[in-house]
Amino acid sequence: MEAALSTINGITAVRRSEDTDAGLCVRLDCRPSGDVRADIYHKIKQTDWILLDFHQQAQSLETVFRELTMESD
């Protein structure tokens, strides 16, 4: 799965964020320019994977700055 999705132009990272009996949750980091959702759909369609949820989450520069400057406990 990771190898297949990482071949899509525009995806910079593929990470498993959760692996349960119900399924696998994957986070894809993409370049800010371009929309790779159609390419992701076509790649999944070529497999026997079942897509249960697909959503896009954008981060603002302010959010990234806060995460980088947050003190760890």
Confidence (pLDDT) at 38 = 93
> Per-residue pLDDT tens for 28-42?
999 888 889 999 999
Neighbours of 55 (CB within 10 A): 5
pTM passes above 0.95: no
Neighbours of 24 (CB within 10 A): 12
Nearest to 29 by CA among 49, 6, 52: 6
- pLDDT-based confidence at residue 73 (cuts at 50, 70, 90): low
Max CA-CA distance within the chain? Answer: 44
